Amino acid sequence: MISTHNSGKTAFSDSYGRKIEYVRLSVTDKCNLRCFYCMPEGFRGFEPTSNYLSFEEIERVMTAFAALGVHRVRLTGGEPLVRKGLPDLVQKLSKIPRIDDISMSTNALLLASKATVLKQAGISRLNVSLDSLKPDRFRQITRGGDLDRVIDGLEAAKMAGFSPIKINMLVMKGINDDEVVDVTEFCLERGFTLRFIETMPIGPSGRQVVDHYVDLEKVKDKLASHYKMIPGVMPGGGPASYMQIVGTDMCVGFITPLSRHFCSSCNRVRLAADGKIHLCLGNQHTFALRSLLRSGISDTALEETVRKALLLKPRKHDFVNQPDEIERTMSATGG
Ligand code: SAM
Ligand code: SF4
């Protein structure tokens, strides 16, 4: 079913009446880090590069999505900045009619030299993953990451005019949960939005982190003992619920896929680098587009195929009942 959403564009409703307006676009499954909760140590199971959709193929698929009402795209990975020529893809995406919001999730290691060109190409908003402000701890969590490079990347993003810049911190018991106030202060000082995220049991690495799971209600309580907070609002249409720190502009978001899931309002699907549509992060439902794209499918048939794929989107994730089901790593779908 197609209906009109509030910006006057059409948006496709899935089998459960949810309007699908957002695609998380993974441009590579490779990464220059190995965060222990995301990718197994020594992981070698990457997709051959010849299986990656080309920029032209991505443009075709995103045009089909846009015709069905998608207007927001987030580039992710793996690490999106390791894909060569990324600004060219951003330029292509920004010319697709109806796409009005292009953002990116990155570990920021390569951001310092690329921030300006990415902004010029059409990326407006950035999310940066940052789980610790302690250099040694950061190196351990990411298996080798250099915190200074991330901070340099963030500064460059600010200079390039990105706004808002959101910091994503995965909160893990016994690993970094003692830093939630420090990271809040860091973001307050620099004008970043902060979002705390609950760990998800996705893939072998995600399951390793189950013992470190923290219900974010505890983080909210901890912050409430440091700051006066009131309910806040942030643009973006994502799943975070926000609190504003009184007397500041700063909003702190809480993303709680496990403790309070948001499946009934889920507005997104994922397109992986190999051309598979993933209908739900916490389920196996996929639809492969690559061979169709390479067999000369017409634009009209492609749009109809994508429409049918969207109808496969399940009602909710199954993290709690079937935590062993998801074998793919988080880096394959981009979070
Ligand atoms: N490399 C980029 C980055 O780190 O921002 C983009 C891809 S990364 C897979 C996207 C997000 O997924 C990151 O914020 C990361 O913290 C999150 N993530 C990875 N594994 C996770 C897990 N097991 N549970 C919850 N979030 C996870
Ligand atoms: Fe790479 Fe992002 Fe996964 Fe870390 S979370 S290993 S930076 S894809």
Ligand 2 site-directed mutation target among 26, 39, 168, most atoms within 8 Å of CB: 39
| Ligand 2 and 273: CB distance under 6 A | no
Instruction: Decide: 202 in ligand 1 pocket, CB within 6 A.
Output: yes
Decide: 329 in ligand 1 pocket, CB within 6 A.
Answer: no
Which range, of 220-224, 246-250, 280-284, averages the lowest pLDDT?
A: 280-284
Q: What is the pLDDT of residues 86-95, one digit of tens each?
A: 999 999 999 9
The percent of residues above 90 in pLDDT, for the chain, comes to 75
Burial 172-195 (b: 16+ CB within 10 A, else e): beebbbebbeebbebbbeeebbbb
Omega before 164 within 30 of 0, i.e. cis: yes
Pocket perturbation via mutation, ligand 2, pick of 129, 132, 197 by most ligand atoms within 8 A of CB: 129
- The three-class DSSP label of residue 129 is strand
What is the average per-residue pLDDT within 27-45?
A: 94
- Angle in degrees, CA 135, 142, 102, rounded to 5: 105
Ligand 1 centroid – CA 104 distance (Å): 12
Question: Average of pLDDT values for 267-295?
Answer: 93
Residue 2 has pLDDT above 70, yes or no: no
Mean pLDDT score, 215-222 = 96
pLDDT digits (tens, 9 = 90+) for 70-83: 999 999 999 999 99
What letter would DSSP give residue 248? S
Better pLDDT: 272 or 204: 272
Whether the pLDDT of residue 322 is over 60: the answer is: no
Q: Where are the chain's structural domains? A: 12-333
The arithmetic mean of pLDDT across residues 160-181, rounded, is 97
pLDDT tier for residue 303 given thresholds of 50, 70 and 90:
very high
What confidence category does residue 5 fall into, taking pLDDT thresholds of 50, 70 and 90?
very low
pLDDT band at 10 (very low <50, low <70, confident <90, very high): low
Choose between 258 and 27: higher pLDDT: 27
Sequence-ordered strand ranges (E) for the chain: 2-4, 10-13, 19-20, 22-26, 72-76, 101-106, 125-129, 165-170, 193-197, 229-232, 241-245, 251-255, 268-271, 276-278, 286-288
Tokens encoding 76: 């992710």
Q: Is the pLDDT of residue 321 over 60?
A: no
Q: Average pLDDT in the 194-203 region?
A: 92
State residue 1's pLDDT score.
45
d(CA 106, CA 76): 7
35 lines ligand 2 (CB under 6 A): yes
pLDDT of residue 234: 79
Whole-number pLDDT of residue 275: 97
85 or 4: which carries more pLDDT confidence?
Answer: 85
Mean pLDDT of 152-166: 96
DSSP 26: E
* 31 touches ligand 2 (CB under 6 Å): yes
Q: What is the pLDDT of residue 127?
A: 97
For ligand 2, the distance from its centroid to the CA atom of residue 46, given in whole angstroms, is 14
Which residue puts its alpha carbon closest to atom 25 of ligand 1?
199
The superfamily CATH assigns to domain 12-333 is Aldolase class I (3.20.20.70)
With a 6 A CB cut-off, is 77 part of the ligand 1 pocket?
yes
On the question of pLDDT at 320 being above 90, the answer is no
pLDDT at residue 325, rounded to an integer = 64
Q: How confident is the model at residue 3 (pLDDT cuts 50, 70, 90)?
A: very low
DSSP string, 99-112: --EEEEEE--TTHH
Give the pLDDT score at 227.
96
Ligand 1 pocket check: which of 197, 255, 256, 324 to mutate, most ligand atoms within 8 Å of Cβ?
Answer: 197
Calculate how far, in angstroms, residue 293's C-alpha sits from the geometric centre of ligand 2: 28
129 Cβ inside 6 Å of ligand 2: yes
101: left (phi over 0), alpha (psi -120 to 50) or beta: beta
Q: Whose Cα sits closest to atom 11 in ligand 1?
A: 335
What's the whole-number mean pLDDT along residues 11-31? 92
Please count the other Cβ atoms lying within 10 Å of the Cβ belonging to residue 199.
Answer: 22
pLDDT-based confidence at residue 324 (cuts at 50, 70, 90): low
Alpha carbon of 168 to ligand 2 centroid (Å) = 12
pLDDT per position as a tens digit, 252-261: 999 998 887 7
